[in-house]
Structure 1
């Protein structure tokens, strides 16, 4: 088969185009229109010249064949389509390090000022058990004043007794939002709920009720 002679400038331009797309995170996919195992980066007007370049590489010693590249790319695509992104495991013991606007949050729950002052001086710890396969979780908030336990299955609504907090009950659901755990507590108070997320060895907690937002940060025990 007679090979076309391609100017070196065009070869370099195509190579740079391929490199820029792969650096941007594009996936190598098969070009079904042309039936060739080429990256999408070179399936524009330069695709025919690109194929000649790839086939020339095929004829060089030590280079991977076009058919081999096509087969490997197809296998990678099949695996990536069937891959389920894993969620973080929250299991661990986390100790309080900071909080913001917490007293305003307690006031929105109608907790009296004397008790608010006491609660704001507490330094709670979170003890979390998380089964990533079943979605079962247990969260224990421990303080020197009171302890509060909750157990649930992600995505399933349950009746939550918030007696140790403010004496109310809620219909509660905790579920994933990306890598975050988002809790919705339906009850007497509007917009009640919380969000947990991990950032390195830090556990963040955002508490919400009646448009009041408080935040706490915990650090995972070594």
Structure 2
């Protein structure tokens, strides 16, 4: 399956546009190079220079199950390096990634992993940083360190994770927690380098009703807004 990145520009880019929509010049780019079986659940984030991190779930690219893969692209959607394999654990499925990029270029990717936390689905993350792979080479975004579990409550399923980073490097991750049999929205806070983590906490006030599909946005002064 081919994943397509569509760029909308108010100005002419250096390549021939594919079409125009409501005054926007439209350019389409293929993102993945591995096209066998299925690639789905794509998410993107952009840094302050316009470079783009695209992440997705890909089946049978590692050992037959779904894994999380990505591509680092320039502002025109051209690849900067090869595809990235982001998850390290390959047992079970790793799916539904989300991503965000901090002001220093550090990226976080979060996803669901089947059976890794001992009971159902859990939320895992890995950081990516700009690195130089060879002398005189330009920097590219690559995984740094090991993947780690986000949810502290491991019973039941934890799914539909989302992540945002503010301008001060505060990272907030939110997800659905089904440990009680009724979905609640939980969140956890980190520093950009992965340190200084908080315990997980509930976002919703009415815990008797089902709460699903969280979405986050950073505000000023280290604050965030969440909806679900």
TM range (shorter): under 0.3
Greater share of helix: 1
Bigger Cα Rg: 1
Superposition TM-score, scaled by structure 2 size: 0.23
Report which structure shows greater RCO (CA 8 Å, sep ≥6): 1
